[in-house]
Structure 1
């Protein structure tokens, strides 16, 4: 059960990373990884402002402290999102331009890279679990048959989570390519 929980966390982490990839529509989760240097500390944007999407092409950021407006604007401009913030003194608006075909392909490649990193994490969890089983077998805690059965179960679990990761990747790619 512990193994399954850590594999589930790995898949969920990859899914959260997928959410930071732009599609053609405005989505507040694009700004999830964005931090703002606020009073000398890197602070997540979500704790400094309310983020909403008034329409499908706009993200609206309303800071709790109007003094942080410039800092938030600078953090967005300096980020790798490629977005330009517009400040009207009360709220910051970010217009999400439609993606070009080339940019969509780049984002698909990025999603594939994130999925591969997720698979590597799953394989590392599998490797650690199998090493633990082999050690238990060597120490006499498990028989050879029990150890082999357990290793088969670990492999089946890994295959299941990799398939789930592939499914999420396919959905994200479809989302990115949808015009």
Structure 2
């Protein structure tokens, strides 16, 4: 068991949580809101970013310019069917999404969603901790390392876990502030 590998896995779990946070809507236009949307393209589900240019001309609008004109319909349908909660406006060449200001109730829903995503990230970090500690115990049982080394490694793994769960809490606090700021 390598401590560096465990830390690397935990870092990736935190990064995945950050990417999840980016898909939650705040009051401003943000192209990452559309990261989870896929479009049928020649028989395969393709990420929206791969078939179009996404821009934010102002703080309240997202513009989607597909590379091929025949994708306007499928893109519009994919956005309508998604959980983004935005209505696409198709002008024949560009799809525009107007970002309405959030109500207090909707902001609370998004804060809850962010908290749920943060908890999923923490569970992921704790699962990595469990796997690392199991590996350390197995090494101790097979007499590859001493009992003292085993305890020391388990303590280090726990410290890493505490560090990365605290990092997720920090990211959650930032996201909650973004959502609740009017």
4+ runs deviating over 4 angstroms: none
1:164 partnered with 2:167:
yes
1:114 partnered with 2:123:
no
Per-residue deviation, residues 139-177 of structure 1 (Å, max 9, x unmatched): 001111110000000000000000000000000000000
Per-residue deviation, residues 114-156 of structure 1 (Å, max 9, x unmatched): 0000000000000000000000000001111110000000000
1:28 partnered with 2:39:
no
1:91 partnered with 2:87:
no
Per-residue deviation, residues 82-127 of structure 1 (Å, max 9, x unmatched): 1000011110000000000000000000000000000000000000
1:59 partnered with 2:49:
no
Separation of aligned partners in 1, 2:131 and 2:42: 42
- Alignment match, 2:152: 149
Of 69, 79, 82, the match for 1:79: 82
Separation of aligned partners in 1, 2:111 and 2:167: 17
Report the count of equivalent residues.
179
Gaps (5+ residues) in structure 1? none
